[in-house]
Every structure is written in C-alpha cells, then in structure tokens.
Structure 1
Amino acid sequence: MSDASEPQTLPAGLYIVATPIGNLGDISVRAARVLAACAVIACEDTRVTAKLLRHLQISRPLVRHDDHASADDRARLLATMAEEPVALVSDAGMPLVSDPGYRLVRDARENGVAVTVIPGPSAPVTALALSGLPSDRFLFAGFLPAKDKARGEVLTELAPVRTTLVFFETAPRLERSLYAIAEHLPGREVAVARELTKLYEECRTGTAAELIAHYQAHPPRGEIVLLVGPPVEQTGAGIDVDVLLATLLTDHKPSHAAAEAARMTGQDRRTLYARALELRGR
C-alpha cells in the first residue's frame, strides 16, 4: 500500500469513502488514494479512522462528524469542501448506511458542492451473500428497536414484505430479537452473520428457535447482521409447532402461547393448548 500515501490532485468537493468492515486489507486502492489526497477527513470516531490511516501510512487532519454534529459543524465542513477535497468515512463500511452523514450530503448537494462516492465494503450485502438466503430482492431495515413492543410492531409491519429482511443487531440484544422473529415471523429461515471479514467470521442459519438455543449456549460477540428469509408460501404448513410453542412458552403462559400459535398457524387453539401444557410439563 506504499503508493497509497502518494498525494494526487483532487477537485474540491465531498468524497464519500467506503472503509473496511473488519479486515483492513479490504480497503480499495482508489479509496486509499482519495483519503491521502483529501484536505480533511470527517469521521465518526477519530480513533478508529486513525488506526486505518496508520495502516495506510497516511497522515491527514481528522474531524469528528457523528450523530451529534450540529448545523454549525456542517457549515464549517461545507466551507472547506467548497475550496478543498473533504472525505467522509464511517467507522466501518459504506457511509450513510445506518451511519451519520445524511444531512451533510444533502447540504452539500443543495449548495452545489460536487459529491463523489468511492464504493467498497458493505456489511448488509456481505452478509446477504454469505447467508445463502434469497438475494434477488432484499430490504435493509437498519437496527431493530430496543424495546420489545416497538420491535414487535416493526416486525409486524414488515411481515407481508415478500423478500429477505436484513437488520443490524448488537450481541446483547440478539436473543430478544430472535424471540420476536419467532413470534412475529414464524416459519422463516433466519441467519446470524457476525464478525464479517474477521478471523472468527460466522454465519449460522436455522429457525429462530434453533438459533436461540445455540446462542444461549454460546453467547455471541462482535457486530451482527441478522437476516430473515421471505415468508413461506403456506400458512401453518411447514412450521414446527413444537418449536414454535417452546419458543412462545419462554415468555407466555400456555394459554397465551396456544392462542398466539393458533393465530400464526391457523391450527386449533385447544389442541395447541394441550400440547403447550405437555411441553411445559417437561
């Protein structure tokens, strides 16, 4: 990468630069050269970006630009990019994908500043390719809400969407999100992709209940992309009722679990209630 630090002349403007999502070797030659040529690099966390620049043997001024950036902060960057090239990076991956920078790009465009994108790594697309889930159509929905009620509402809203759903998630919240998927999106294939491009990269697929059992025994670490396959064609058929009931019983009384399972599968509630009591008895 030694040639990456050699300066080149860039026109003034804003340069949106994708950075590695884990493996520093994934930085593109073009991205490295643009970073080396920019007068200022706006970033989420100066410590994270400084590590990347050290790897590239680049020294450039860093300006913190995160979710708390003010209108004055954007104005100062706009004034700079009107005269010089300014790079915008996130901590990892493609800027603006569940990351700050949206308002800065809008302001730049509204003020006639040239905006250029230097594409590169993207965690949602990487996870989708790795998962084996249908990839002809997908919906990226960012982070699921932290609160159970709001999380359930989002999943209910997305339930009719006939495409693979892609979310960001944190390790401490993964189990609760898997429970919510089992409840609101039953019968679907789920994938958990974590530590993408890193040494311990993992992509595990199965039902939500199977993944809950695995991660209860093996608590996850690292950054996670959570994917849910499109809805199954049939309603009720193909759903493992015992797995569904067992998952629901972790949070519901047998009567409530049976009622919810009946709603999801179309099966008889009384039969499901009897089975829920059997499972609870075990």
Structure 2
Amino acid sequence: MPGLVLVATPIGNLGDLSPRALDTLRSADAVLCEDTRVTGGMLARHGVSVTLIPLHDHNEAAQAPNLIARLKSGARLALVSDAGTPLVSDPGYRLVRAAIAEGVRVDAVPGPNAAVMALTLSGLPPHPFLFLGFLPAKEGARAAELQRIRAVERAGLAATLIFYEAPHRVPESLAAMALAFGEARPAAVARELTKLFEELRRDTLGTLAAHYSDHAARGEVVILVGPAPEEAAVEGALEDQLRAALAAGLSLRDAAATVAEAMGLPRKQVYQAALALGR
C-alpha cells in the first residue's frame, strides 16, 4: 500500500535486519535515510538496489512538503535512520507529523532499539522507564537539565532514566550525573551493543564515573540510571510542605512542628530541613 513506512535497522550487527524490513526496503519507491553511505552499504550487503534520498536534521523541514506530495500521489516511501528505530533521537518526526496531518498512511516495521536493549540488560528496574535522549553538550546546560530531572524526582518520579551519549562526553556526563543524583545511585553503561566488543558495566554512578575518567569509551553508548530512592520523593514533598507553611506566615519553628506532625516525620529532621530551606 502507498504511504510512509518507518523501518528499524540494525544497531550494529547487520544480521539483525529482519526479513520483513528487508522486503519493505526492497519494495519501496525510495528510502529516506540520514546518510546514504551508511544505508547504501547496508543494503548493498543484502543485494538491494533502491533510490536513496537524504533526510536529516538540516534538510527535513525543506524536504517534507515535496515528500508529502509524493506520498499523496501514491508513492510508498521507507524511512530509516543510520541505526535502530527511526525518530528515537533521530530525524523523521517532522515528516511523520506532516504525513499524519495530511491524512497519509504511516506504518512501521519494528526492530532493534539500543535504549530498550540496554534497559533489558542493565539489571535496573525495567518499568517505568524514562528515555531522555542526548543531554546538552555544554556543561552549564547539561547541569541545568539534570537538575530539572532531579526536581521531577523530588516531586515523586521513580523511573529508570535512559540517556544516549557521545563516547567522548561519557566521563563528564557520568560525573555530572553523580553530582546531580548522588554517587551511590545504581547505574549502567552499555557500549557497542550487538557488536564484537559489546560491553555492559553495572555499578554506582560514582564508580562508573571514576572508571570512564581513566578508560576512554568507544562506539555507541547508552547510560542508564536507576530510579530515585523513595526518600527523594519524601524530601521533595517535605520541601513543598515547608514552603507552604512558611508562606502562610508561620515561624520557622512552628512550620517545622506543623509539617512534622502532618507527615509523621521526626521534628528534629524537619526543623533541620527548614533551616536549610531558610538559608
């Protein structure tokens, strides 16, 4: 049938291209891809010859109207990324949204995904999980983003966090995570999944940060951070209750006493939190 088909491709081992994915790519009028050299090489290994059209972050907005016109005229186009499932930290979202808006049929051929594979191998709780893609490359923006995530954890989020990262930024990202989430948080680093030198390290954020500061990471990397401990949610709720009590005009001591009774917490603990909040 005509329409747009999202096709998952291998994340490393070329043997992971499914028969259905191969048939879909072979029968497409054209294949939209990030890098024609990467996709062309993969298809050549399977003896597939098909028109390749570059579609990446720099040209997707400009290409979308022409591609939608082709789809509406009856074309069948396949969309792939360089590796894994399209749209997951890869181009294609704008085209998919435009296709849906124009009533174009959108299908998918499922397959490899680095985030999900790393999650299943990590030993961390598999659900709920939160996929966050790539952190900002600059130190200040990265720290701010991690603090935003931490604030959501204080509000009650308890999920395994999944990040993609460039290999040369792994040491600094792990160090920033250890600072934001605590060195003792359980974590894992998955590298080169499905490839010859596949590696998965499971430890605390502090230990992993120390390891990768001395050992350069190579290849595609997924970083996973275990859920926030339950006390993180209590800490966030405690701060919220104290702010509300202080805003209502209570003194620091009275606010601590009121909140301690309401939350069933030791008065001394709440008073220390109130002092820290006051500072």
TM-score, length-normalised on structure 2?
0.78
- The corresponding residue for 2:158 is 162
Instruction: Report the Cα offset of residue 54 of structure 1.
Output: 0.9
Q: Which residue of 1 aligns with 2:86?
A: 95
Matched, 1:108 2:119: no
State the AA in 2 paired with 1:206. Answer: D
Amino acid across the alignment from 1:22: G
Q: How do 1:1-282 residues align onto structure 2 when only pairs under 5 Å count?
A: 11-82=1-72, 83-159=74-150, 160=153, 161-186=157-182, 187-234=184-231
8 Å CA contact 2:33–2:80 kept in 1: the answer is: yes
The aligned amino acid for 1:39 is: D
What is the identity, as a one-letter code, of the residue corresponding to 1:80?
A: R
The farther-off stretch of 194-203 and 154-163 is 154-163
Distance between the aligned counterparts of 1:72 and 1:196, measured in 2?
Answer: 34
- The Cα RMSD (Å) is 1.5
Structure 2 counterpart of 1:128, one-letter code: L
Greater per-residue helix proportion: 2
Q: Deviations over 1:150-209 (max 9, x none)?
A: 111211121212110000001111111111111110121111001010000011011222
The equivalent of 1:278 in structure 2 is none
CA drift of 1:210 comes to 1.1
Residue type at the aligned position of 2:105: A
| Structure 1 position 217, deviation (Å) | 2.7
- Gaps in structure 2 of 5+ consecutive residues: 233-271, 274-279
After the TM superposition, which segments of 4 or more aligned residues of structure 1 sit over 3 Å from their partners? Answer: none
* Offset of residue 216 of structure 1: 2.6
Read off the aligned partner of 2:174 and give its amino acid letter. Answer: L
Amino acid at match of 1:181: M
Contact 2:143 / 2:176 at 8 angstroms: preserved in 1? yes
CA distance in 2, matches of 1:232, 1:125: 22
Q: Alpha-carbon deviation of 1:80?
A: 1.9
Structure 1: tracts of 5 or more residues without a match: 1-10, 236-265, 268-282
Paired residue secondary structure (1:32):
helix
Tell me the residue number matched to 1:248. Answer: none
Once residues 213 and 143 of structure 2 are traced to their aligned partners in structure 1, the CA distance between those partners, rounded to angstroms, is 21
Distance 1:34 1:210 in 2: 44
Question: AA paired with 1:204?
Answer: R
One-letter amino acid matched to 1:30 = R
Could you say if the C-alpha distance between residues 28 and 70 of structure 1 is closer, same or farther in structure 2, counting changes exceeding 3 Å? closer
Q: Distance in 1 between matches of 2:5 and 2:68?
A: 12
Report the 3-state secondary structure (helix = DSSP H, G, I; strand = E; otherwise coil) of the residue aligned with 2:164.
strand
Pairwise CA distance, 1:70: 4.7
Task: Check whether the contact 2:122–2:202 (CA below 8 A) recurs between aligned residues.
Answer: yes
Counterparts of 1:139 and 1:71, CA distance in 2: 27
Aligned residues: 227
Offset of 1:107 from its aligned partner? 0.8
* Counterpart amino acid of residue 113 in structure 1: V
Give the partner amino acid of 1:196: L
